[in-house]
Structure formats: C-alpha cells, structure tokens
A and B are shown apart, each in its own frame.
Chain A
C-alpha cells in the first residue's frame, strides 16, 4: 500500500462524516446566511419602498439613540435581573422535577404526573396571564379572598400594582408554565443512566437520597452544563410575551420601572411605530452582548470538561 498523506488518510476516514454535515450546512446557508444582509437595516433609515439597496445610511444613529434614551439603564437593569432570576429559579426547577420523578417507583403515577405537569406549556400566555391577573385582582381575586378568609390580611392587596411583587409573580408564572415541558429533556438524559450504578451504590450503603446527588445528578451534568451555557447566551432575551401579558399588554405603567426589558421596550417604541431600523439596531446590540456572554460561559465550562466547541 502506498503511503497516503495524512490529509488523504484523514479524509478517507471521515468522508462520510462530512457527508452527514453538508446537507445541514447547505440548508443553513440558504435559509439563514443568504437573508442575513437584512442586518444592515440597523445602520440605515430603512424605508419599505426603497428597500435595502436604496434606503439612506444612518450609521450608528439608532444605537446612539438607544444608549441615550432616558430609560436605557432601567431597561438594562431589568433585563439582567429578570434573566438572573430566571436562571436561579426557572432553570433548576425542571431539573429538580426530573430528579423527583426519577424517584417514583410506580410507573403509572409517574406517567400521570409527567403528562399533567406539562399541560401548562400548552396554555398560551394570553390565557395564563388572564388567569394570573384575575386571581390577583383586588375586586374579585381568589388569592385576596383566600388570604382574607385565613385572616392573614385585612384589606385586599393590589398585587399587580406593586413593583415589589412583580418579579415574584413573573418568575412564579414562568416556573409553573414550563417546569413540566422543560423537564422532559432531563428525563431523557436520566433514562440513559446505567441502572447498575444504583445497585452498586446501595450495596455500598448509600440511600436513595444520597444516590440522587452522587449518581443521577452527576450523570446528567453534561446536559445541564450545555443548557446553562445556552441560557447564559440568552440573558439579553429576558422575556417578552410573559411580561407583556402580565403588564396587560404594556398598559400597566405603574410597574414599568421593574417590568420593562429590552424586548418589551423595543416592541412599544420600535415595532409598533414601524421603526424597523431602530428595532433592528437594538436587536443587533442584544445579539452581540449575548454572543460575548456565550463565549465567556463556554470558556468557563470548558474547564469542567464540557464545551460547545
């Protein structure tokens, strides 16, 4: 056999790997990269009729307008805080649920809880929001009625008008809505764990509770870490539909100083006024920050062995 160059040898081994990758690459090229020239709107004063080619150039005008807007720091602060809260509460909740479900012996019970817990995912935010707002209202809300019956409060609390409660309400609704659906991935990961690991552990004297932390959790750590990285790369997208609905389509201005995040702001100011370029500029800003966060998170994660690339 003739000596093949290392490159040729490599290609001989890998050629069908590349074959598997090429279709995806092509599709992404056509449907994601070809339209990407639209990003240029952020630097133009885009006019629908003139199109991308003929709209006047605006440089960094929209970016500067955004940075100089009076609410810029409030919005940024809210965005970061809401994302952090979601990371602290909404992120671990599905993992905890998956771990608990794993401890259930009776298959039927497990199935029922699994199915039921993911139902809220299918209720639209419009319906969920309507529900939450109704429950927390002063005139007729079930929460107030319940608390008063239990003599915990004398007068109904105007939950939705208090800045202090808003974040709590937002996070609680989020957790409730997605905990079941998000846990599915972790359940899938758990089902890949070798049962013998558990057997040997209990022979060594570890109880189920210990096993959860010493076996189950570490085994699904790779999945958790990857999702964590992706979540960090999503911090600037702190939320939109949930906040919009809970502030009654942006009407509830009383809590706006805590509820307004980048996306709700852009929706009101940019999109509803057909200020495409402004919305595009803010979107681009968000993406850049997100990418930087992602790279940072990945670098940290790499030390523990997981990495996106």
Chain B
C-alpha cells in the first residue's frame, strides 16, 4: 500500500463526504416513493410522509398484481428486452466497428448517411404507414425491429473502439484473422465496459418505452408492462375523475371505501416501482464489467 500524504487524506475524506451527500440526495426521493407506495393513499394525502409508512397497506400492490394482464405484459417486456437488446447491440456494434476504420472506401458517405438520420425524420405517420406495409403493426416485432440501429449508441461504440490500442488488432491480423474474426475474438472481449453500458441503455429504453406499443399495438396480449401499468394507473384516475363528472353520478361506489387505501398518488408510486425495479436490479450485476485493466492482460497475453 502506498502511503497517503496528509493532502491526499483530506482529498479522500472530501470525496467520501461529497459522495455520501449525493447518495442521500438521490436515494431519499426514491425511498420516499417506496414508503408512499406502501402507505394508505388517504393518509398520504395528509402529507408529511417521509421515512416510514404511517398506515401500512399492500392494497396498491395488490391492485397492480391482481390485474390478469400483468403476467403477459411482463413476459412481453422481458422478451422485448432480451431479444431487442441482444439484436440491437450486436448490429449497432458491428456497424460501429466497421465505421471505426476511417480509411475504408466510402467512409465519409457512410458517416454522413448515419448522422443525417439523427437530425431528420419523417414523423410518426410515414413510419406508421411503413410499418403497416411491412405487416409489422400489431405484432411483437414492431417493438424491436424499427429501433434496432441507434446511431447515437453507434457513435459511442465507435469512440471506444477507436481508443483500443493498435497493437491489439495488429497481432490478430498477423495471425491471419479476418476483420470479422478480429471483431468477435479480440475486440468484443476487451470491450466489456462499453458493451455493458450500451446494453444497459438499450435495455432501459426497451423496458420503459410505452409509446411504441400505444401507437402500433392494439392486441391486449402484446402490450408490454410499461403500457399496462399506465393503463392501471389511468383506470384508477378515471374512476376518480368520473365520480365527479356531471354531478357525481358514477359513484354507485362508496367514496370512502377502496379509495381510502388506493389513490392515484399511491398507486402511481407502486406502478412506478414495479416498472423500474427489474431494470434497477440489473445494473449491480453489470458493474463487474467495469473492472479496471481489462486491456492489460490481452496485450501481454
């Protein structure tokens, strides 16, 4: 262990303090959301819920999980994330690797071609019409195929690939490896961090995206979890809203019944947590890819 000077010690302490403060500030609202989701809605309306539920209830989660559509939706979302992420990351990284070779023929046209799409688009209706022609509408694949290539991600991949030491690929070429072979056998294994990062980004996108399904899919069974959760939330909101439309007609339901424990606020917290937990839990598992010195071994070896 290298001895730390007193200046370095102070520095260390400052770093720790700053990070702890950041941790508190970012954790608190999330913790608060968890607490609210377990607290009776009517009680939450009185305010001042901070660190622990005051009137504990599982009703909000019960309402969410009771919904029969949830199992299908969960399955769809998981499939979407797994397939979508794998395909997207593979294709985008391939494209990025190819474009990291700036000396190839047509390099500049390729780059302009890609970057242009980041700025100009035809809008929703032409895409809708296109997907309809391709018979993608109202199928599972409309959630995956149109968004397979992300130019933004491609640029990130490319930046990382370009930073790899030349020696790495040289040795592979000398050994007679094709470019594709080099990519698969050498580049991918040492690019753990960037693959992990972009896999996470893509997974988060697929998991959270509710808009694509809202527009392109009508079949109940094909709706991903983000859409269903939105609907559960909206359903509850509608019940509350309709109860006061035109003179409170829709309340054959006693207002002081179920609405004691489930309000739109407490329900929205519960749905938000159900929606984000799976993805949040992925990150710690990916963190092992951010290990330093991944490159060192490969050059020497």
The smallest beta-carbon distance between A291 and chain B, in angstroms, is 5
Whether a CB of chain B sits under 8 angstroms from the CB of A287 is yes
Q: A interface, how many residues as a size bin?
A: 35 or more
Is B7 in contact with A209, judged by CB distance below 8 angstroms?
yes
The answer, yes or no, to whether A226 is at the interface (CB within 8 Å) is: yes
B163 lies within 8 A of A176 (CB) = no
- 8 Å CB interface, A185-215 against B: 185, 187-196, 202, 207-209
**A306, chain B: closest CB distance, angstroms:** 8
Q: Is A117 an interface residue (CB 8 A)?
A: yes
B283 touches A14 (CB 8 A): no
Q: Which of A26-34, A78-86, A242-250, A256-264 contacts B (4 or more CB under 8 A)?
A: A26-34
Question: Would B22 and A192 count as touching, CB distance under 8 A?
Answer: no
Tell me how far the C-beta of A138 lies from the nearest C-beta in chain B, rounded to whole angstroms: 15
Q: A67 on the interface (CB 8 Å rule)? A: no
Which residues of A are found within 8 Å of B290, using beta-carbon distances? 187-188, 191
**Docked complex Cα distance between A36 and B129 (Å):** 12
B5, CB-defined interface residue at 8 Å: yes
A113 to B20, CA, bound (A): 7
Residue of A nearest to B119 (CB): A287
Chain B residues near A223 (CB-CB < 8 A): 156, 159-160, 163
Distance, CA A101 to CA B92, complexed state (A): 29
Task: Determine if B174 is an interface residue (Cβ-Cβ < 8 Å).
Answer: no
Tell me if A280 is interfacial: C-beta within 8 Å of chain B: yes
> Contact at A18–B104, with CB atoms within 8 Å?
yes
Contact check, A32 vs B121: say whether CB atoms are below 8 A apart. yes
Q: Which residues of A contact B104 (CB under 8 A)?
A: 10, 14, 17-18
B291 interface neighbour in A33, A109, A191, A294, Cβ under 8 Å = A191
Given contacts A120-B26, A122-B276, A140-B47, contact A104 B91 (CB under 8 A): no
Query: What's the minimum C-beta distance from A132 to chain B, rounded to whole angstroms?
Result: 9
Find chain B residues with CB under 8 A from A124 CB: 272
Decide yes or no: A195 and B197 within 8 Å by CB, A18-B104, A207-B5, A308-B155 being known contacts.
no
Residue B287 lies at the interface, judged by CB distance under 8 Å to chain A: yes
Return B160 CB to nearest CB of chain A, in Å. 7
**Across-interface contacts of A131 in B (CB, < 8 A):** 29, 32
Decide if B2 touches A202 in the complex (CB within 8 Å): yes
- 8 A Cβ contacts from B129-175 to A: 129-130, 134, 145-149, 151-152, 154-156, 159-160, 162-163
Q: Tell whether A274 is near chain B: CB-to-CB under 8 Å.
A: no
**Chain A binding site: helix, strand, loop or mixed by DSSP?**
helix
Q: Is A161 interfacial (CB 8 A cutoff)?
A: no
Instruction: Classify the interface of chain B: helix, strand, loop or mixed.
Output: helix
Chain A residues in 8 Å Cβ range of B122: 35-39
Residue of A nearest to B124 (CB): A38
Q: B178: which A residues are within 8 A, CB to CB? A: 16
Contact of B95 among A23, A104, A115 (CB under 8 A): A23
Q: A37-B126, A97-B22, A103-B12 are in contact. Are A195 and B98 (CB under 8 A)?
A: no
B290 to chain A: closest CB distance in Å? 4
Is A104's CB under 8 angstroms from B30's CB? Answer: no
CA of A14 to CA of B178, assembled, Å: 9
The residues of B that contact A111 with a CB separation of less than 8 Å are: 284, 287
**A222 interface residue, CB < 8 Å from B?**
yes
Is there an interface contact between A113 and B291, defined as CB atoms closer than 8 Å? no
> CB-defined interface of A91-134 with B at 8 Å, one 1/0 digit per residue?
00000010011011100010111111111101110111001000
Q: Which of B30, B163, B289, B296 contacts A119 (CB 8 A)?
A: B30
**A120 neighbours in B (Cβ, 8 Å):** 26, 29-30
**Residues in A whose Cβ lies below 8 Å from that of B99:** 21
User: By the criterion CB–CB under 8 Å, are B120 and A287 in contact?
Assistant: yes
| Complexed CA–CA distance, A230 and B155 (Å) | 10
* Contact present for A209 and B8 (CB under 8 Å): yes
A179 on the B face (CB < 8 A): yes
Q: How far is the CB of A35 from chain B (nearest CB, A)?
A: 4
A37 to B293, CA, bound (A): 48
User: Measured between alpha carbons, how far is A97 from B272 in the docked complex, in Å?
Assistant: 26
Assess the B25–A176 pair: CB atoms within 8 A. Answer: yes
Q: Which residues of A contact B197 (CB under 8 A)?
A: 184-185, 188
A sample of 18 inter-chain contacts (CB < 8 A) reads: A17-B98, A17-B104, A25-B95, A25-B110, A28-B113, A33-B117, A37-B126, A113-B19, A115-B283, A116-B30, A118-B283, A122-B272, A122-B280, A176-B25, A187-B193, A187-B290, A191-B292, A207-B7
Residues of B within 8 A of A (CB): 2, 4-5, 7-8, 11-12, 15-16, 18-20, 22-23, 25-27, 29-30, 32-33, 47, 91-92, 94-95, 97-99, 101, 104-108, 110-115, 117-123, 125-127, 129-130, 134, 145-149, 151-152, 154-156, 159-160, 162-163, 178-180, 183, 193-194, 196-197, 200, 268-269, 272, 276, 279-280, 283-284, 287, 289-296
> Which residues of A come within 8 Å of B, CB atoms?
10-11, 14, 16-21, 23-25, 27-28, 30-39, 41, 52, 97, 100-101, 103-105, 109, 111-120, 122-124, 126-128, 131, 140, 176, 179-180, 184-185, 187-196, 202, 207-209, 222-223, 226, 230, 233, 276, 280, 284, 287, 290-291, 294, 308-309
- A-B contacts besides A113-B23, A117-B23, A127-B33, 15 pairs, CB < 8 Å: A17-B101, A25-B110, A28-B114, A35-B122, A111-B284, A113-B22, A184-B197, A188-B160, A192-B295, A194-B293, A196-B296, A207-B5, A230-B152, A230-B155, A309-B107
